[in-house]
Amino acid sequence: MSGRTLYDKLIDAHVVRQIDDDGLVLLYVDRTVLNEYTSPQAFSGLRQAGRKVWNPRAALMVVDHVNSTAAVRTRQMPDAGAARQVDYFAENARDFGIEYFDILDPRQGIEHVIAPEQGLVMPGMVIAAGDSHSTAYGAFGALGYGIGTSDIEHYLATSTVRYRRMKTMRIDVTGRPSLGVTAKDIVMEIIRRIGADGAAGYAVEFCGPAVTDMTVEGRIVMSIMIVEAGARGVVIAPDQKVLDYLQGRPRAPKGEMWTRASEAWLQLRSDPDARFDRHVTIDAGEIAPVVTWGTSPDQAIAVTDCIPDPESNGAADRKAAARRALAYMGLEAGTPIASVPIDLAFIGSCTNSRIEDLRDAARIFGGRHVAPGVRAIVVPGSTRIRAQAEAEGIARVLIDAGVEWRQSGCSMCLAMNDDVLAPGQRSASSTNRNFEGRQGPGSRTHLMSPAMVAAAAVTGRITDVRTLIGGEPQ
């Protein structure tokens, strides 16, 4: 019998019982994080059925999706709908006894940024939350994945979900990325290669030397973004870097409990002879910064390339989708992507709003200025990160460069608040999704790393960041 993958070990350790003979199980879920827009109907369902929350301590509620990110923080929401959602959210937190960070709380931030910040995420856990980017927790050796509102309600009432085991995919990242190439570029290149459904139905384990070398923050970027290839769960074996990240966090174990926990956590890994259903290898040393040109995250190219001809796509429906994407984006095949002018530069989102992303951005903005006609916005992932960036002098660098330095929230990742592009406006964005209308009806989004967004902001057009930092464009 071959060994087990880390994913299989985590699932095996969380199966409460089998439900049927087709592999449906009741899976225990250790934690959830709740936001104000996917949870209200779940709480209403509990109220209507007169149900309680099974384990209120396992959940955390935080306002992040609909709030303003204006520089001065107030309780005021951008519109009446958002205000109603936040009011109901607070009411649910109170009535069901769940810890709640409101908009003025110094611990507030994007759910996937603050859950690790608070030490709520630990290796060996299963964490399901009402947001697709809940795969973030894979970076800590926890299995993370997103669920819809009905499953939030099911989770709240039972601390379980009904679950069918995924297939497993191992993605090995070898080599060493060159200067100017980040975790974002690596994961975007993987998505470009395997497609927007390349990991659909799979739980992904990232491994290999480039992942070992990567910071925990970089692993979070990979874990979140691979969801855009359809991954339904991510795990990365925890190591000393993960322990260093978690130690001393408010909800992390302390003292003797920490010692016991950390010993157990370092045992969590796939067996050497574990079999995966699919295996992908990518050499990080071969990757250039990646930019999307279309309206699906897999419609991407190296920043040194030209926009591809839709007719070069295989199937008829793929050609049609590429033609439609180009028309929507207002671009023509054959154009070098590194010549496309932008209107707005956005650095933020659960994918790329952590301190190391802001440091990357500050290195590009330092001594430079946002190009005429371009608006640049930086939204830190949490209120704590905002404070840290201010203490490190990053905020000063950004402000001096003409960047709008904001408060924390999801902001232009999905533009549910008042940070919205006008129709036809084009952004360079450190977010995860370039879908039609994602940043506002008619908005045109190019996904890239935070450093690449900063490079676009200061030059006014999509730019190979390596030309600004003395790296080697290929």
Partner 1 sequence: MTPFLRVAGVAAPMTTPNIDTDVIMPKMFLKGVDRSGLGDGAFNLLRFSAGKPNPDFVLNLEGYRDACFLVVGPNFGCGSSREHAVWGLQQLGIRALIGTTFAGIFYDNCANNGLLTISLDVATIGMLAERVADPLTNRLAIDLERQFILLDGRDGSAVSFAIEAARKEAFLTGRDAISSTLVFADDMRAFEARHRAENPWFF
Please give the residues from 103 up to 162 whose contact with partner 1 meets the rule CB under 8 A: 122, 124-125, 130-132, 146-151, 153-154, 157-160, 162
Residue 154 C-beta: closest distance to partner 1, Å: 5
Round to whole Å and give the CA distance between 207 and 344: 35
Q: Which is nearer to partner 1, 81 or 330 (CB)?
A: 81
Instruction: Identify the residue among 102, 107, 172, 201 touching partner 1 (CB under 8 A).
Output: 201
Q: Which is nearer to partner 1, 146 or 409 (CB)?
A: 146
Q: Is 141:6 a contact under the CB 8 Å cutoff? A: yes
84 binds partner 1, rule: CB under 8 A: yes
Instruction: Identify the residue among 22, 263, 273, 311 touching partner 1 (CB under 8 A).
Output: 22
What separation, in Å, do the N-terminal and C-terminal C-alpha atoms of the chain show?
A: 46
Round to whole Å and give the CA distance between 412 and 288: 25
Residue 117 C-beta: closest distance to partner 1, Å: 17
Q: Which is nearer to partner 1, 321 or 333 (CB)?
A: 321
Window 301 to 320, contacts with partner 1 (CB under 8 A): 317-318, 320
Which of these segments, 14-22, 271-279, 284-292, 398-406, binds partner 1 (CB under 8 A)?
14-22
387 binds partner 1, rule: CB under 8 A: no
Window 210 to 269, contacts with partner 1 (CB under 8 A): 228, 230, 232, 253, 257-258, 260-261, 264
Q: Which is nearer to partner 1, 57 or 176 (CB)?
A: 57
Residue 130 C-beta: closest distance to partner 1, Å: 6
Window 174 to 193, contacts with partner 1 (CB under 8 A): none
422 binds partner 1, rule: CB under 8 A: no
Q: Is 238:140 a contact under the CB 8 Å cutoff? A: yes
Q: Which is nearer to partner 1, 109 or 233 (CB)?
A: 233
Q: Mask 272-301, x = binds partner 1 (CB under 8 A)?
A: ------------------------x-x---
Q: Which is nearer to partner 1, 218 or 409 (CB)?
A: 409
| Count of residues of this chain found to bind partner 1 when the rule CB under 8 A is applied | 76
Window 432 to 471, contacts with partner 1 (CB under 8 A): 433, 435-438, 441
Residue 197 C-beta: closest distance to partner 1, Å: 4
Window 34 to 73, contacts with partner 1 (CB under 8 A): 37-38, 40-41, 44, 49, 51, 54, 57, 66
Instruction: Identify the residue among 216, 236, 243, 416 touching partner 1 (CB under 8 A).
Output: 416
Q: Which is nearer to partner 1, 326 or 371 (CB)?
A: 326
Task: Show the 3-state SS of the chain.
Answer: CCCCCHHHHHHHCCEEEECCCCCEEEEECCEEEECCCCCHHHHHHHHHHCCCCCCHHHEEEECCCCCCCCCCCCCCCCCHHHHHHHHHHHHHHHHHCCEEECCCCCCCECHHHHHHHCCCCCCCCEEEECCHHHHHHHHHCCEEEECCHHHHHHHHHHCEEEEECCEEEEEEEECCCCCCCCHHHHHHHHHHHHCCCCCCCEEEEEECHHHHHCCHHHHHHHHHHHHHHCCCCEECCCCHHHHHHHCCCCCCCCHHHHHHHHHHHCCCCCCCCCCCCEEEEEEHHHCCCEEECCCCCCCEEECCCECCCHHHCCCHHHHHHHHHHHHHHCCCCCCEHHHCECCEEEECCCCCCCHHHHHHHHHHHCCCCCCCCCEEEECCCEHHHHHHHHHCCHHHHHHHCCCEECCCCCHHHCCCCCCCCCCCCEEEECCCCCCCCCCCCCCEEEECCHHHHHHHHHHCECCCCHHHHCCCCC
Which of these segments, 11-19, 173-181, 363-371, 448-456, binds partner 1 (CB under 8 A)?
11-19
Residue 160 C-beta: closest distance to partner 1, Å: 6
Residue 403 C-beta: closest distance to partner 1, Å: 25
Which of these segments, 13-21, 216-224, 277-285, 461-469, binds partner 1 (CB under 8 A)?
13-21
